[in-house]
């Protein structure tokens, strides 16, 4: 199974994706970590463009045929990145589960962004203004959505787990 978490920075997708990966023993791929490693290599110092997504696509595609569940954690702001995940799942012959993480409480979302620690070495956390300005296209088909303003990370992982179990039933 390929599980792709999408959403703006500060919504809680990393916390939920990591929690789910630990709970189900899945391979965890974080786009921010891959992109920062590319910057640190010196190959692409600033604008890594879509290279982080392309690396994650290749890593997912190399692990899915091994029977691994892969969890991807990224903003996935545009249709191009979302379509690529669909193609990866199709090529690997696995189910794709898209999960969009939102935070409907704007004040809470801003607080999280402004107090977020730098959890990827070398990566500067985004500013609230950069989150507001972030390109984020509407979904063609609404994914399963989690609103972290309404629940704790533990509750969110539980809800996602139940959603995954129900989808297999």
Query: What domains lie within the chain, and their CATH numbers?
Result: 2-168 (3.40.50.300)
* Cβ 98 vs Cβ 146: under 8 Å: no
* Cβ 85 vs Cβ 2: under 8 Å: yes
Look at residue 124 in the predicted model and tell me its pLDDT: 82
Look at residue 50 in the predicted model and tell me its pLDDT: 87
Please state, in angstroms and rounded to a whole number, the distance separating the CA atoms of residues 93 and 78: 23
Q: Which tokens is 77 given?
A: 């702001």
**Beta pairing class for 96-102 and 144-147:** parallel
Look at residue 46 in the predicted model and tell me its pLDDT: 65
Residue 42: CB partners within 8 Å, gap ≥ 6?
none
Residue 14: CB partners within 8 Å, gap ≥ 6?
5, 30, 32, 73, 119
Residue 140: CB partners within 8 Å, gap ≥ 6?
79
C-alpha gyration radius of the chain = 15
CA count, 13 A, side-chain hemisphere, 68: 16
Q: Of the candidates 95, 92, 44, 38, which has an alpha carbon nearest to the alpha carbon of residue 65?
A: 92
* Cβ 36 vs Cβ 120: under 8 Å: yes
Look at residue 168 in the predicted model and tell me its pLDDT: 62
Question: What is the pTM (predicted TM-score) of this model?
Answer: 0.94
Residues of the chain with pLDDT under 50: 169
Look at residue 169 in the predicted model and tell me its pLDDT: 43
């Amino acid at each position: 199974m390929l599980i792709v978490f999408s959403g703006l920075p500060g919504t809680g997708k990393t916390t939920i994706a990591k929690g789910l990966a630990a709970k189900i023993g899945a391979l965890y791929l974080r786009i921010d970590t891959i992109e920062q490693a590319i910057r640190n290599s010196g190959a692409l110092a600033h604008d890594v463009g879509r290279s982080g997504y392309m690396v994650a696509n290749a890593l997912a595609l190399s692990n899915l045929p091994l029977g691994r569940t892969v969890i991807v954690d990224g903003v996935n702001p545009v249709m191009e990145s979302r379509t690529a995940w669909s193609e990866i799942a199709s090529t690997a012959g696995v189910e794709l589960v898209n999960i969009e993480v939102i935070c409907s409480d704007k004040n809470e979302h801003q607080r999280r962004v402004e107090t977020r620690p730098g959890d990827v070495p070398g990566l500067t956390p985004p500013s609230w203004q950069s989150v507001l300005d972030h390109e984020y296209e509407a979904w063609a088909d609404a994914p399963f959505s989690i609103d972290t303003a309404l629940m704790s990370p533990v509750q969110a992982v539980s809800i996602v787990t139940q959603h995954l179990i129900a989808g297999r039933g």
